[in-house]
Amino acid sequence: MKGPGKGNTNNPKGKPPGTLNRTTKEAKELLEQILLGQVDNIKAALETVLANDSARYLDCCSKLFTYILPRKTDLTSDGEKINITFTPHEFKN
């Protein structure tokens, strides 16, 4: 077998795990600049969607939120599946 083997490296002080390569980093920075330049247009487009179709507006917002809000993480089940069922009367006031 040649080389240090899977999971090992000849350069222990190399790039830390999760570090973006230069091309990816530059592409993300460019896209961020483009997006920031479009904030007013995005806001206007969402206002138009809201005026015409509130359900579509909520759909658009929910898709955008996935890029902003962190995903929920289950901290209680230790990765085990939890089966929970709700009946309609539980949500009545």
What would the mean pLDDT of 18-41 be, rounded to a whole number?
Answer: 92
- State CA 88 to chain mean position distance: 31
Structural domains of the chain, count: 1
Indicate left, alpha or beta for 40 from its phi (over 0: left) and psi (-120 to 50: alpha): alpha
**For residue 34, what are the domain limits?**
21-69
| Residue 87 resides in a domain | no
| Residue 5 resides in a domain | no
Q: Is the pLDDT of residue 6 over 80?
A: no
| Residue 93 resides in a domain | no
- Cα 14 to Cα 8: distance, rounded to the nearest angstrom: 11
| Residue 38 resides in a domain | yes
Higher pLDDT, 11 or 54: 54
| Residue 1 resides in a domain | no
Q: Is the pLDDT of residue 89 over 70?
A: no
| Residue 83 resides in a domain | no
pLDDT interval class at 90 (50, 70, 90): low
E strand segments, the chain: none
What would the mean pLDDT of 59-80 be, rounded to a whole number?
Answer: 80
What would the mean pLDDT of 38-64 be, rounded to a whole number?
Answer: 95
| Residue 47 resides in a domain | yes
| Residue 16 resides in a domain | no
- Cα 13 to Cα 74: distance, rounded to the nearest angstrom: 34
* Phi, then psi, of 60 in degrees rounded to 5: -60, -45
